[in-house]
């Protein structure tokens, strides 16, 4: 097959659609995550998924030895351990005297460490090689099957719709928790929903971007968008667009060059778009700031 044929093969297009939807979901959710000042929580959630994925695979293999791997089960396992990771952060913050960043680092490394301990057990099990755990860590878009794409796209779509519905409430919570409380909004519930969406994005993105680097897709597009607009709605759209572009271009590169780590390429594309935004962003980019230093309104 020529490069051209590979690029337009049905399979490639399906994977491309899946990762781009993920990019949109991560861009939208990431905007709120960043405005809430929780960029690193995304990293914790990503890393904390590893033990869940591995243990879920082992449990499923024990229950149904001949069924091979089940993506939904593994993703569910990842979501559960990500959730436990987040709860550990909240709990440690409440009961310990440790600073916030230390708590995040502790939980992130402990959960990931547990995952790395469990990994050899998975690899040594009879069906272990099918689990494809290295793919979950670094991302391997080529390993995504068509049936997976439907699941991933559903998660991504649910995230996008959820964010659209809670736009007002999340904006308020991120900007002024005090007013949100005064107006009687259930902050804990809103916070829980936001973090659930982040977990959903991380879990959906594990196969293409990998759980080590998924935080980049949450944070880099959202950071880039800030250079283009001072209003929250455009920020969300631009972040979604940059997320989709990064994920799409990364997946294309990964389809054309075998053995390329998809996640890493997606992150590098996103980083390039961030640098470009810092230079030519319409609102705060370097060039426009030079051209109109005192522009306001």
Residues that bind another protein (CB under 8 A): 35, 165, 167-169, 171-172, 174-179, 181-185, 226, 229-232, 235, 296-297
Q: Could you tell me the two tokens for 195? A: 């973090």
| Distance of alpha carbon 109 from alpha carbon 92, whole angstroms | 14
CB of 193 to another protein, least distance (A): 12
Query: Is-contact 240 167, C-beta < 8 A?
Result: no
**CA 280 to chain CA mean position, Å:** 26
Query: Is-contact 174 10, C-beta < 8 A?
Result: no
CB-wise, 78 or 243, nearer to another protein?
A: 243
CB of 89 to another protein, least distance (A): 20
CB-wise, 142 or 219, nearer to another protein?
A: 219
CB of 178 to another protein, least distance (A): 5
CB-wise, 189 or 286, nearer to another protein?
A: 189
CB of 230 to another protein, least distance (A): 4
| Distance of alpha carbon 11 from alpha carbon 50, whole angstroms | 27
CB of 235 to another protein, least distance (A): 5
3-state secondary structure of 207: coil
CB of 68 to another protein, least distance (A): 41
**Phi and psi torsions of 208, nearest 5°:** -85, -45
CB-wise, 134 or 177, nearer to another protein?
A: 177
| Distance of alpha carbon 229 from alpha carbon 100, whole angstroms | 30
CB of 294 to another protein, least distance (A): 11
CB of 42 to another protein, least distance (A): 18
CB-wise, 184 or 293, nearer to another protein?
A: 184
CB-wise, 177 or 191, nearer to another protein?
A: 177
Q: Where are the alpha helices (DSSP H) in the chain?
A: 3-8, 10-35, 39-63, 71-95, 100-124, 128-131, 133-138, 146-165, 167-175, 177-182, 187-205, 214-225, 232-256, 262-280, 286-291
Query: Is-contact 200 79, C-beta < 8 A?
Result: yes
| Distance of alpha carbon 119 from alpha carbon 117, whole angstroms | 6
CB-wise, 166 or 272, nearer to another protein?
A: 166
Residues whose CB falls within 8 Å of the CB of residue 108, separated by 6 or more in sequence, listed in order? 43, 44, 47, 48, 85
Query: Is-contact 28 200, C-beta < 8 A?
Result: no
């Amino acid at each position: 097959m020529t490069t051209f044929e590979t690029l337009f093969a049905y399979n490639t297009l399906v994977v491309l659609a899946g990762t781009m939807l993920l990019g949109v979901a991560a861009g939208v959710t990431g905007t709120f995550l960043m405005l809430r000042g929780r960029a690193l929580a995304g990293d914790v959630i990503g890393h904390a998924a590893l033990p869940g994925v591995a243990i879920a695979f082992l449990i499923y293999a024990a229950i149904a030895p001949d069924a091979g791997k089940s993506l939904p089960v593994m993703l569910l396992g990842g979501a559960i351990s990500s959730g436990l990771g987040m709860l550990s952060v909240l709990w440690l913050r409440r009961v310990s005297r440790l600073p916030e960043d230390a708590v995040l680092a502790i939980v992130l490394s402990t959960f990931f460490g547990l995952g790395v301990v469990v990994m050899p057990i998975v690899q040594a099990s009879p069906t272990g090689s099918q689990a494809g755990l290295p793919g979950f860590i670094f991302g391997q878009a080529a390993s995504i099957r068509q049936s997976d794409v439907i699941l991933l796209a559903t998660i991504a779509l649910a995230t996008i719709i959820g964010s659209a519905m809670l736009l007002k409430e999340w904006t308020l919570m991120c900007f002024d928790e005090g007013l949100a409380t005064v107006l009687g909004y259930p902050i804990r519930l809103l916070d829980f929903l936001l973090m659930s969406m982040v977990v959903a994005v991380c879990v959906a993105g594990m196969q293409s971007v990998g759980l080590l680097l998924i935080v980049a897709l949450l944070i880099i597009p959202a950071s880039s968008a800030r250079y283009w607009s001072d209003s929250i709605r455009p920020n969300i759209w631009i972040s979604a667009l940059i997320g989709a572009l990064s994920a799409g271009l990364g997946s294309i590169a990964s389809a054309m060059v075998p053995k390329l780590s998809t996640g890493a390429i997606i992150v590098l594309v996103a980083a390039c778009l961030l640098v470009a935004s810092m230079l030519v962003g319409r609102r705060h980019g370097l060039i426009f700031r030079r051209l109109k230093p005192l522009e306001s309104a």
